Amino acid sequence: MAELITYRDAVARGLAQEMRRDPSVHFLGEDVAAAGGVFKATKGLLEEFGPQRVRDTPISEEAILGAAMGAAMTGLKPVAEIMFSDFLATCWDLVAVEIPKTRYMTDGQVTMPLVIRTANGGGLRFGAQHSQAVENWAMAIPGLKVVAPSNPKDVIGLLAAAIRDPDPVLFFEQKSLYPSKGEVPDGEIVDELGVATTIRSGSDVTIVALASMVPRAVDAAEELEGIGISAEVIDLRCLVPLDTATVIESVKRTSRLVTVEENPRLCGWGAEIVSIVGEECFWHLDGPLTRVTTPHIPLPSADALEDEFLPSVDRIVEAVQKVVQ
């Protein structure tokens, strides 16, 4: 049977599933235990697994990741929470230099089965310093795997896959999705990293999206269908490993591509997708490769300005219409 649960509750269920299965899985972060997380995504874990495996930490991102790195090096499988993805900047040496390089520099003698969970992106009026979408930062670092689910079932399955992976994984939870709901089957759920999902089939254009942009892309595709444009929607799910095969196969059929991302336009992940498709599918294209992004400015906190800043259904529809015409 399947039940309808929130993205927020899926986080706790995914962590609990893996902690029940493997006693080496530990969880640490700011306010994750007694308070159940600032977004209430880890409620109940302290009560079930106790303070030895679910630990509140001081307000120090460097301390959190330093402790997690040491735990991973000595045989545990830590899951560390960084409350807001913006705060990865305060511990970037560990994220970009230490954690992703250890397995390589020890010739595989030391693995790094470490997951860093973090709330990412805008939509909740938290302003410029608490609303950035930074998955493109992580994508640029060799040695890191990068995951960003769009629905509760994928949260559980991809979180399980990340925890079981021997390499470090950055797991981005788009914070505006926490209250959203989706059907999740009973029993253990384990997915595979690096596999995109075709959410909606179409023949005129391929729309590639990630995290909170996926439901917006689906809404745009439904609106486009009403004006005679058939759009295929791909949920990328992971940036590293990147499932280029699914995207290329789709574009070869539709002959057009539109990427939809929350990252700023300069150096966003959509640029990499466009580059790959331009190289691999040039002779299949019937229209320009197009990116829908946020502008390259700090994110405003005012309601109307933040809504204008983020890619909307209307902007996606407009971009697709131009490509098809």
CA separation for the pair 10, 310 (Å, rounded):
25
CATH code of the domain in which 232 resides: 3.40.50.920
Tell whether 190 is covered by a domain. no
- Enumerate the active-site residues: 61, 130
Domain termination site, one of 153, 185, 217: 185
Tell whether 217 is covered by a domain. yes
Beta strand residue intervals within 175-270, DSSP E? 181-185, 197-200, 205-209, 231-235, 238-240, 257-264
CATH code of the domain in which 162 resides: 3.40.50.970
Domain termination site, one of 185, 220, 245: 185
- Please give the pLDDT value at position 137: 96
pLDDT tens figures, 145-204: 999 999 999 999 999 999 999 999 999 999 999 999 999 999 999 999 999 999 999 999
Tell whether 83 is covered by a domain. yes
CA separation for the pair 95, 62 (Å, rounded):
9
- Identify the bridge partners of residue 198 per DSSP, sorted by sequence position: 234
Residue numbers of the chain with a pLDDT score lower than 50: none
Query: What residue spans of 165-243 are helical by DSSP H?
Result: 213-225
Q: Are residues 32 and 138 in the same domain?
A: yes
Q: Are residues 30 and 174 in the same domain?
A: yes
Q: Are residues 120 and 250 in the same domain?
A: no
Q: Are residues 131 and 242 in the same domain?
A: no
Q: Which amino acid is at 242?
A: L
Q: Are residues 76 and 137 in the same domain?
A: yes
Q: Are residues 158 and 267 in the same domain?
A: no
Q: Are residues 160 and 51 in the same domain?
A: yes
Q: Are residues 213 and 89 in the same domain?
A: no
16, containing H or E segment = helix 7-21
Tell whether 73 is covered by a domain. yes
Tell whether 15 is covered by a domain. yes
Q: Are residues 302 and 247 in the same domain?
A: yes
CA 295 to chain centre: 20
Burial 96-132 (b: 16+ CB within 10 A, else e): bebbbbbbeeeeeeebbbbbbbbbbbbbbbbeeebbb
**Total domains, the chain:** 2
- Please give the pLDDT value at position 1: 80
Tell whether 191 is covered by a domain. no
Q: Residue 191 has which token pair?
A: 């997915």
To the nearest 10°, the Cα dihedral for 221, 227, 228, 231? -10
Q: Are residues 242 and 156 in the same domain?
A: no
Q: Are residues 264 and 139 in the same domain?
A: no
Residue that is written with structure tokens 């029993």 in the block: 187
- Please give the pLDDT value at position 293: 97
DSSP 8-state symbol, 95: I
Beta strand residue intervals within the chain, DSSP E? 2-6, 25-29, 54-56, 77-84, 115-120, 145-147, 169-174, 181-185, 197-200, 205-209, 231-235, 238-240, 257-264, 290-294
Tell whether 108 is covered by a domain. yes
Q: Are residues 43 and 165 in the same domain?
A: yes
Q: Distances in Å between the alpha carbon of 287 and those of 75, 136, 207, 284, 318?
A: 51, 26, 13, 9, 14
Range of the domain at 179: 2-185
Say how many residues make up the chain. 325
Tell whether 225 is covered by a domain. yes
- Please give the pLDDT value at position 107: 95
- Please give the pLDDT value at position 176: 97
